[in-house]
């Protein structure tokens, strides 16, 4: 844990301890860093950075500042608009960009925001690079030269990101949800547009709630941190189940037809069992954190599935999975990583 960066990026209250000035300096470092990597490899083309965000009101401010920082040192920016965090992790690799940035504070209230950074591989930046960013923030980026004239970076908008991501999810799931009647809570966040394209395409009959973001209502009494409204809607509406995402859709929680919560441990257990049946549970192991309860461990044992525990934080789960070749891991909070299809937790893929 650094001064600014925690286990999931740079988080803070927008305008207080995560300001436009912070975002500008992060952008200035990233542009300089990735331009330098290109130069060392003999590529003199400017670095390309893609940026996505959730629906928070402060997202526009932080994106503008981040973009200014990137362009000020000669990097080009492609704005993806409102998209889930896992969409950016997927698209940065698909579009062969140098890095991808998500402006989001995930499940937190609207007054907070954050900056998550993915390398071109789709994986989060290593600690040593985040530490370098922090040093340059505190040094006002004094040793990073500014671009001038024709070397200043350019900004463009990519409108194909949403459809490319929906297609990726559809092809990854490769299933048929016909006959299911589902209530889906999008938390007034980044999943709203994606979910409304994806789940009906998979054949499900869907009712959506939390799909009217106004910049201030993200995660407010909706989504995976407020399941009571979804649970009530499922029971009253006679749905087969309910699905809830958080603001940037990297988490998924659910409830059954009786309105009973299905937390991350239960979701991981269900998926791991299914993967074992299909012969794709690599290492016959699911990776969880120390927060997972003993009941989960015992149930996995009864199914002949091993478990490994890590410190709390999805980055530690992912590290273990990559080091040991495991295919599934996650947290009670509903942050589930399915490494055959995604480099980070993906709520809609999980659902």
CA distances from 24 to 73, 80, 85, 86 (A): 11, 18, 20, 23
Give the span between the Cα atoms of 329 and 317, in whole angstroms: 6
Can you say how many angstroms the Cα of residue 193 is from the centroid of all Cα atoms in its chain? 15
The tokens describing 161, both together, are 């990101």
Sign of CA dihedral 58, 129, 161, 219: negative
The tokens describing 100, both together, are 């991808």
Q: Are 234 and 183 in contact (CB under 8 A)?
A: yes
Pick the catalytic residue from 106, 191, 224, 292. 106
CA distances from 64 to 53, 103, 167, 186 (A): 11, 11, 29, 25
Q: Is 106 one of the catalytic residues?
A: yes
Can you say how many angstroms the Cα of residue 68 is from the centroid of all Cα atoms in its chain? 23
Residues with a catalytic annotation lie at: 106
């Amino acid at each position: 844990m650094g001064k600014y960066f925690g286990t999931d990026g740079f988080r803070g209250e927008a305008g207080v301890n995560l300001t436009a000035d912070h975002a500008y300096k992060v952008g200035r470092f990233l542009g300089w860093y990735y331009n330098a990597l290109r130069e060392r490899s003999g590529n003199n083309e400017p670095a390309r950075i893609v940026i996505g965000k959730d629906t928070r009101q402060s997202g526009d401010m932080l994106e503008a500042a981040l973009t200014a920082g990137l362009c000020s040192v000669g990097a080009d920016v492609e704005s993806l608009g409102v998209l889930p965090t896992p969409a950016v992790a997927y698209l940065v690799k698909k579009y062969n960009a140098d890095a991808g940035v998500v402006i989001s504070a995930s499940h937190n209230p609207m007054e907070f925001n954050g900056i998550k950074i993915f390398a071109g591989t789709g994986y989060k930046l290593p600690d040593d690079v985040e530490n370098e960013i922090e040093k340059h923030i505190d040094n006002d980026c004094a040793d990073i030269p500014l671009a001038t004239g024709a070397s200043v970076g350019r900004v463009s908008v990519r409108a194909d990101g949403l459809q490319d991501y929906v297609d990726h999810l559809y092809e990854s799931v490769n299933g048929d949800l016909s006959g299911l009647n589902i209530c889906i809570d999008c938390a007034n966040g980044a999943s709203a547009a994606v979910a409304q394209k994806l789940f009906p395409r998979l054949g499900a009959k869907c009712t959506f709630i939390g799909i009217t973001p106004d910049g201030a209502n993200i995660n407010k009494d909706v989504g995976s941190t407020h399941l009571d409204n979804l649970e009530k809607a499922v029971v009253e509406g006679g749905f087969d189940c309910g699905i809830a995402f958080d603001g940037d859709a990297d988490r998924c929680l659910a409830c059954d037809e009786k309105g009973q919560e299905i937390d991350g441990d239960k979701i991981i257990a269900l998926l791991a069992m299914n993967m074992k049946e299909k012969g794709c549970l690599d290492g016959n192991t699911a990776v969880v954190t120390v927060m997972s309860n003993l009941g989960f461990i015992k149930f996995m044992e009864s199914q002949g599935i091993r478990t490994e525990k890590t410190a709390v934080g999805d980055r530690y789960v992912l590290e273990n999975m990559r080091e040991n070749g495991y295919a599934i891991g996650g947290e009670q909070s509903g942050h589930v990583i399915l490494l055959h299809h995604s480099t980070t937790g993906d709520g809609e893929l999980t659902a």
